[in-house]
Structure 1
Amino acid sequence: MKQLPVSVIVVSRGRPRSLRRTLMGISQQVYPQFEIIVVTDSEGIDAVQFLDFGHQLKLVEFDEPNISAARNHGVAVAAGEVVAFIDDDAVPETGWLWHLVAPFARTDVAAAGGFVRGRNGIAFQWKARSVDGAAQHCDISLGNDKPVEMTPSKGRAVKTEGTNMAFRRDVLAEMGGFDPAFRYYLDETDLNLRLADQGAITAIVPLAEVHHGYFESVRRSARRAPRDLHDVGASMAVFLRKHCSQEARAKVWTEYQRGQRRRLVDFMVRGEIMPGDVARLMRSMRVGHSDGMERPISVLPRIARSSEGFRAFERTSGGAVVIAGRHWRRRKILEEAQSAAISGKVPSVFVFSRTGLFHKVIYHSEGYWEQVGGLFGRSDRNGRLFRLMGFRNRLKSEKQRVARQRMLMDEGGNV
């Protein structure tokens, strides 16, 4: 299969440490032809200069709080046939690009999206979903983990998640990219519906996995509690104006406000916001909605291609390596993993205690994956709560669970 050149675009603002971690994960991709484009503020520019591979990045300085405009700046300098997007609070599995880009071998595929795991590295935030003009999502059941190419049904679009999606560059550029009226929230959903209007095919790729952390930002706390809902309200107003029938908009907006208030009350009950914050945040959303009603909606101009050519990322990789042991040896195991990562390998660390503790997975900014948990505990959240297993069998089981996403197989496809 021909490997299409890919431009990976990361937008970042105010999170330099998180950005460096994301870029480390991207740098370890096994895909043979990709470039990395970073659209970020001056703080982010300074931070990535200290990475060993910082000189290989295409850097675009941009310091406006508008993710759509920032992504369009990235598309403008992208020289790949496919452009892939990931957020600065996420890390891709090593085989992310390999799986995500594969459906584009079909020339009629315009977009692709993968699955997203949450903060514990095990449970999924999002799998396959569709969305309609009221921004209502519906899960799509897939029979297995093979890519599925989908043509949208009337009034619905195949949803791609902003932190794990790819598009054929020429298609995206011809559409004008992302609508800058969506400064934050619903930006990719708007694009999904515009693609659906064209009857474009979107592939859902389960094995193209990204781990998404929901890191702290000006809009939310480290525990996901919102700090401001102005842009959420504004984007919802723009979205409904573009995609929802006029007679249905008022009802949809009313129901949306009710849902947001329930969410805020849940945060308050958990002690993550104060009672007065509920009213304040709801006011900010309503003010944002008024702002969104005034934002211009216009035809987006085509994004021209930069004269700068493809800057292929080059990294000497020693391949994947598995390091495992008991919990009492964790410190030594992590030292071994760091050493392996420095030498160019991509270590997967498995540390088991003789307990029934649930498992979790984390990617360390030094360049290695770590899974910890009880030898008898649950990793798959739908699996058995407690399983009697020996160390060797448990290690084999966990390696198989992530092998294809992390490319732990040998040339014969064995783990």
Structure 2
Amino acid sequence: MGVVQLQYPSFEVVVVSDPAGIKTAQDLPFAADLKLVPFDEPNISAARNLGIVESAGDIVAFIDDDAVPEPQWLHHLVAPALQSDVAGMGGFVRGRNGISYQWKARSLDRFGEAHALDLQNDVPVVLHPPKGRAVKTEGTNMAVRRDVLIELGGFDPAFHYFLDETDLNMRLARAGHATALVPLAEVHHGFAANRMRSTNRVPRDLFEIGASWAVFQRKHVAIADREAHWRQLRMAERQRLLRHLVTGGLEPRSVRQLMGRLDLGYGEGRDRDLTPVKLAAHPAAPFKSFPMHPRKSVLLPSRPLTFRKDLQTAAERVKNGEIVTLISLSYSAMYHQLSLNDAGVWVQRGGLFGKSDRTEPLCRMTTRSRRLEKEQRRVARQRGFSKD
């Protein structure tokens, strides 16, 4: 439903997925408007390269299957491309509760480690990183000029699961390209379970983490620094596992097994093929425009006692072509949560005095009308509320 609500005049949707994912996409009511690319290998870089070749637009935006874009996502994300020196663009990512940020603005040092950047407001910032550093974009919320992706050989298939976008970020910077960070280009990311992690982000296997770090070192880290760098990375992974052990997510034997897999992956990664990829310059298929219908964004107030009825009303209005945000406020200080439900309604629930912005005071007195106005302003430009 998130893609259906995107408000951008001309874009296509390319889905690269395994047979189960393709079957799910084929069952969607708008399946005929999608470019479907079957791919059944556990290699996210190779999958993204297939998507690049299939894409026929000037800019390729990337989002994961467990992420949902805000309606104005593309509008904000690709706007910096009007500057000719901007090749990459990255947005902000909100987490499972729909409020807190998973990732905001970050840079990369010469070891591929991310460091927070303090952007003063929500205006896009174009960055030209110094030598040896790069601008971090998240694989679930980024865009790159297609011709630049072709020039650089796309994503490196030696990164099967991890560090794929980090490697691309480093190569973009090395080639002298600027990257724009766009705070208002937001997606909501759920961290769905996969073969590498559970739904609560407890690791299931660290083999590809180790392998990817070995590949990254071979491409970007000086030989003299690799041993010390690996010791530091290995210690950080062990500390992460021990935190899950303390909270009950792992057993002691699982920590040993996972660390063993990490080391095996690191050894395998030192021997992986690093032959550069050459992608076809011409798209595999013509541009397939996804039908965009202009939608008005509206806010519907609700309360716990009338929530079910209000939710049905909101769903009907979505069917009638509106982008609907339903905010249910209880008389409490409960923290707020937000998600896009299966009917396409943006549902926000929480206390009248509770936090939506997690940096706010624990409890702040207000009226219902003022709180609703405040919440509408908070997401106005991401969701497309009019100024009147």
After superposing on structure 2, the runs of 4+ consecutive aligned residues of structure 1 that deviate more than 3 Å are 315-318
Query: Root-mean-square deviation (CA), in Å?
Result: 1.1
Q: Does 1:299 align with 2:272?
A: no
- Give 1:252's aligned amino acid: H
Q: Does 1:241 align with 2:218?
A: yes
1:204 to 165, 181, 185: 181
Q: Does 1:186 align with 2:163?
A: yes
The TM-score normalised by the length of structure 2 is 0.98
How far residue 40 of structure 1 moved from its aligned partner, in angstroms, is 0.6
| Residue pair 1:85, 1:162 contacting (<8 A) in 2 also | yes
Q: Aligned partners of 1:272 and 1:329: how far apart in 2?
A: 38
- Give 2:77's aligned amino acid: L
1:61-89 deviation line (CA, Å, top 9, x unaligned): 00100000000000001000000000111
1:10-44 deviation line (CA, Å, top 9, x unaligned): xxxxxxxxxxxxxx211211011100000011111
Which residue in 2 is equivalent to 1:158? 135
The 5-angstrom pairing of residues 4-403 of structure 1 reads 24-403=1-380
Pick which of 304-313 and 183-192 moved more.
304-313
Q: Aligned partners of 1:173 and 1:114: how far apart in 2?
A: 22
Equivalent residues, number: 388
SS in 1 for 2:22: helix
| Residue pair 1:234, 1:288 contacting (<8 A) in 2 also | yes
How far residue 141 of structure 1 moved from its aligned partner, in angstroms, is 1.0
How far residue 307 of structure 1 moved from its aligned partner, in angstroms, is 4.5
| Residue pair 2:63, 2:139 contacting (<8 A) in 1 also | yes
SS in 2 for 1:193: helix
Q: Aligned partners of 2:23 and 2:383: how far apart in 1?
A: 30
- Give 2:297's aligned amino acid: A
- Give 2:241's aligned amino acid: L
The TM-score normalised by the length of structure 1 is 0.92
How far residue 330 of structure 1 moved from its aligned partner, in angstroms, is 1.1
Q: Aligned partners of 1:68 and 1:99: how far apart in 2?
A: 25
Identity %: 49
- Give 2:3's aligned amino acid: I
| Residue pair 1:72, 1:303 contacting (<8 A) in 2 also | no
| Residue pair 1:110, 1:171 contacting (<8 A) in 2 also | yes
How far residue 317 of structure 1 moved from its aligned partner, in angstroms, is 4.3
| Residue pair 1:120, 1:362 contacting (<8 A) in 2 also | yes
SS in 1 for 2:172: helix
Which residue in 2 is equivalent to 1:13? none
Pick which of 295-304 and 331-340 moved more.
295-304
Q: Aligned partners of 1:180 and 1:32: how far apart in 2?
A: 33
Pick which of 40-49 and 54-63 moved more.
40-49
